[in-house]
Structure 1
Amino acid sequence: MISFDDAQQRLADAGVPIGTTEHVPLTQAAGRILAEVVVATLDLPPADNSAMDGYAIRATDFQPGVVLPIQERSFAGDKPQPLTPGHATRLFTGSIIPIGADTVIMQEDTEEADGEVKLLVAPRPGQHVRKRGEDTTTGRELIAAGTLLTAAHLTLLASQGVATVTVFTRLRMGILTTGDELVAPGEPRGEAQIYNSNGVMLATLATGLGAEVVHVLHAIDTKEDLQRALRTLVDDCDLVVSVGGVSVGERDLVKPAIEDLGGTLDLWKVKMKPGKPVALAHIDDTPIVCLPGNPVSAFAVFTLLVSPLIRRRQGRADIFPAVYAQTLRTEQPHQDDREEFLRVRASTATGGNVELTAFGQQGSGIISSLPWASGLARIPAGTAVYDGEKVAYYDFSRWLA
């Protein structure tokens, strides 16, 4: 049995970036992974401009109650004339500061009449002036390669006049569920059968991470059917995730099916609960991760072990999201000889501290705990953890994004 941390690192190391790229317009770049560093080609702002509606003056022209003739009115997008000493230029938010001016006095501190403006409040020299380049300067690195692009990144790129970006091609993923006992939702169910929830679960999790799910296939418990499905998935996908059939029972046929296709498989027993049996295989250099068949176990293993592999295969720079120490609230102590990952819900307690409430039933068959939970709390192996103690918290909003 290998440690959880070892298994997580081994799977992450198997996620060699696919490396191929494409150019996409900014309107289609959200959720994509930037393939090349972006460097500023423009100072922002490109010129000194006004942060207020008001008047551009020379600070040395101010005297209490002074009245200055208004030289011109300059709107955002206009190019003003140089300011004549002893004059003012009427400006609006975003208007360029005229040459010769160094200060903006906002309109609330003035009175305008008959083409002149009376200054009522002493300005601070340089006030309300946005300086050229105070946001970004030409040559500065704006966004690093490997960044998951969000609306904030795209706003910055658009402000530089960037219309298209180079991103890694989407990771093509295939999902394989196995087992004679499974039937598709909506289909007639025999007395000894259950509905297949793993297929939609894994496809949705993969899509949420930005992958393109090419196939969601199901194979019955024959080596021939498994081989046909695996061959299709390996031919069409950059990464395959299978669920079920990977242990050592008579109907656990995934391992021999992979080996008969020329693949290699390393089956581990990971020191974690839920989710002990995990396998990593390769066919034709395509990685295949084999998860336990229980939906709760598969969900936990995907979150903790598979998502870093996906992020690395996508070309992301950050593959391990942050883990925070938070206070556990539980009615009973938790201790196991394996690393245990409790389904918990985070909430803000009095004083602003985050507390994690453990779901009442932690059995691996309790699927209803998944939509209730906001993440997983890690209980170290061989350690008793009691109510009020700090534990590592794996937030689904971070680990599944």
Structure 2
Amino acid sequence: MTVEEALNSINKIQSLNKNTKYVNLFEAKGKILANDFYARCDAPIYTNSAMDGYALKNNEFKDGLKVIKTIFAGDLEDCEIKSGECVKIMTGAKIPTGANSVLMIEKSEIKDGKMFATCDELKENESVRKQGEEYKKGDCIIKKGVINDDIIMMLANNGVYSVDVIDDIKVGIFASGKELIEPFYSGYGVYNSNSYGIYSMLSDISNVSYLGILQDEYDYVLNSLKGAFLNFDLVVSIGAASVGDADYIKKALDELGFSPIFTKVKMKPAGPVSLYHKDNKYILVLPGNPMSAYVGALIYARKIIYKLQGLEYNKFSFKCKISNDLKISNGKENIVIGNIENDIFIPFNNGRINSGQIMPLYKCTHYIICPIECNFKAGDIVRVYEKSF
């Protein structure tokens, strides 16, 4: 199965028809807006100045004009200018009645108590932001979907502080491996880095809980999974994804009646990644090596969580040139991480990483998905994804 086929299989997941809840804007990022949003006010809310200057009639800008007052942003009382008059105005301040343009303060001078322009032209509506020119009250300005920084700004700009979002998916994370120890313990072993990184990765978009390290004992694994499925919509199991003697996850899932949605994607790293389901319960089984675990969660987890909330999700991507030749021939699609410099994708270590590494994740910001039998030439166009979740 290819990466694209695995992602397409996630589209078949049915929404859990979750309830909604209100959250404040400081907690809203990454959550799903429950309904389309209609503007509560015009934007701008009143006609205002785009810069510091003088509000005036543009057909009088070459005349010496009397400055009758100064208007600051937030001064909302009505003001009117007559022929031969202007007002000094600050950025964002309300344009007075009778004015139709703003002369930049840098293009003016005061002589003999009057304001004179030092330029040769001033167009009507220059440096004026018209009421409602961005959108009108009642316009549908935000569609149901993932809330990002821009949406939060628009909601706040409409006087919204609490917003209705689809309730969180409950996610439980297990680690697996006899060799693992927690980072707060001292002793000999492999520190359990995966659980903490993936917990952080999922925390903005779900109600995530860390459930500990599974013991390498079949009954323990079976009972732990059985208990987790009572309390969580999605379980993420890290490790025990291969076919080793102590990898009991698949055997336990078979006994619990779970069916595969996809297994063993032909990709590197994270090839052993699998997704199983039973009724409305799901488990994403990730490999235990740090690079593989992170990449598997990065590519699949967000799409699964949003699909469970009824939202189709495709990770943002863009195209650019690759910096150098890149040839990989291992019969798999390869996830190659790297960085963007001067609008060019530069593969980290020329695409050579191993699944046990973490440092390349820290050093890189983007990735590409190389086709099977990859043979890119320097300057070829590649599709690039942000590594950030």
TM-score range (shorter-chain normalised) is 0.7 to 0.9
Equivalent residue, structure 2, for 1:324:
319
In structure 1, stretches of 5+ residues that fail to align are none
Equivalent position SS for 2:348:
strand
CA distance in 2, matches of 1:374, 1:90: 47
Comparing 23-32 with 39-48, greater Cα deviation is found at: 23-32
Distance 1:85 1:387 in 2: 65
RMSD across aligned positions (CA): 3.1
Which one-letter code corresponds to 1:371 in the other structure?
A: Y
Pair 1:353-2:344 in alignment:
yes
C-alpha distance in structure 2 between counterparts of 1:250 and 1:210, whole Å: 35
Aligned counterpart for 1:310 among listed residues 284, 301, 305:
305
Q: Cα distance 1:297–1:18, how it changes in 2: closer, same or farther (>3 A)?
A: farther
Shift of the 89–202 alpha-carbon distance from structure 1 to 2, 3 Å rule, reads closer
Matches within 5 A, 1:233-244: 233-244=228-239
CA gap of 1:345–1:237, structure 2 versus 1, over 3 A, is same
Quick one: which of 166, 169, 174 aligns to 2:167?
169
SS at match of 1:333: strand
Q: Does residue 157 of structure 1 match 2:155?
A: yes
1:323 Cα deviation from its structure 2 partner: 5.1
Change (3 A) 1:68 1:206: closer
Normalising by the residue count of structure 2, what TM-score does the alignment of the two structures yield? 0.85
Alpha carbons of structure 1 residues 70 and 96: separation in structure 2 relative to 1, 3 Å: same
Q: Work out the percentage of aligned pairs sharing the same amino acid.
A: 28
Would you say the 8 A contact 1:146–1:316 is kept in 2?
yes
**Aligned position for 1:49:** 48
CA distances 1:230-259 after superposition (whole Å, capped 9, x unpaired) = 133222222111123344443222123223
- 5 Å-filtered alignment, 1:21-36, equals 21-36=20-35
CA–CA distance in structure 2, aligned partners of residues 318 and 176 of structure 1: 25
Equivalent residues of 2:323, 2:345 under 8 A apart: no
Mapping for residues 202-221 of structure 1, pairs under 5 Å: 202-207=198-203, 210-221=205-216
* Secondary structure class of the residue paired with 2:237: strand
**1:164 is matched by which residue type in structure 2?**
S
Counterpart in the other structure of 2:286: 291
Change (3 A) 1:223 1:129: same
Deviation at 1:110, TM superposition (A): 3.9
- The one-letter amino acid paired with 2:210 is H
Residues 316 and 322 of structure 1, relative CA distance in 2, 3 Å threshold: farther
Across the two proteins, how many residue pairs are aligned to each other? 386
Output the amino acid matched with 1:133: G
Instruction: Note the C-alpha offset of 1:211.
Output: 2.5
Structure 2 CA distance for aligned equivalents of residues 354 and 250 of structure 1: 41
Task: Please list, as runs of the form range in 1=range in 2, the aligned pairs for 1:90-239 lying within 5 A after superposition.
Answer: 90-108=88-106, 109-111=108-110, 116-118=114-116, 121=119, 123-150=122-149, 152-187=150-185, 189=187, 194-207=190-203, 210-239=205-234
Unpaired runs of at least 5, structure 2: none
Which residue number corresponds to residue 8 of structure 1? Answer: 7
Task: Describe the shift of the 1:318–1:68 C-alpha distance in structure 2 as closer, same or farther (beyond 3 A).
Answer: same
Tell me if the contact between 1:50 and 1:129 (Cα under 8 Å) persists in the aligned partners: yes
Matched, 1:280 2:278: no
TM-score, with normalisation over the residues of structure 1? 0.83
Are residue 87 (structure 1) and residue 85 (structure 2) matched?
yes
User: 2:148 is paired with a residue of what secondary structure?
Assistant: coil
How many angstroms does 1:153 deviate by?
Answer: 2.3
Structure 1 residue 341 corresponds to structure 2 residue 335: yes
1:40 is matched with 39
